[in-house]
Amino acid sequence: MEIEYMSLIIDANCAHCVSLKNEHGAPILDYIFKGKIRLVTGGKHKREILLTKLGNLLQELLLSGSITEYSEENIVAKVAPLLSSLVSDDDHIVGLALESGARVLFTHDAMLEQDFTNEKVLGKPRGKIYKYKYHRHLLESICVK
């Protein structure tokens, strides 16, 4: 499958923030609805997101083709060589980034942030963390022109 550098991963711990009522998550929804960014999911990540408030929206976006879904087998294979160097228990997120090419992650998990921004884990381009509305420039950097 083709690598998508213009994509975003939303960690399940931030899924509840992706709403128009949340000042930090609202910009993400705005970009998704305008078709300016794509989400990526697959495997364990998809299962986790489906259990959150974002689950229904994820289903709709999958049906509309606004999300790219990757196979769990490929995600696991990509991250397998790095398992011993990860500090978080979120190897499925790292694997999804490696498989999809997505390099922006919405998360509040400090250990996952360490893995995602570690150049030995996600080399070129390096991963970046979106946390707050002040990080909107990261969304701009992955917008489809």
21-80 per-position pLDDT tens digit: 899 989 998 888 888 888 999 999 999 999 998 888 888 888 888 889 999 999 999 999
Domain boundaries, the chain: 7-141
What is the DSSP annotation of 110-142? HHHHHHHH-TTTS-SSPPEEE-SGGGHHHHHHT
User: Which is the CATH superfamily of the domain at 7-141?
Assistant: 5'-nuclease (3.40.50.1010)
Q: How would DSSP label each residue in 37-88?
A: -EEEE-HHHHHHHHTSTTHHHHHHHHHHT-EEE--HHHHHHHHGGGGGG-SS
Q: Which of 40, 82, 44, 81 lies closest to 61, judged by CA?
A: 40
Question: Does the pLDDT of residue 1 top 60, yes or no?
Answer: no
Confidence (pTM): 0.91
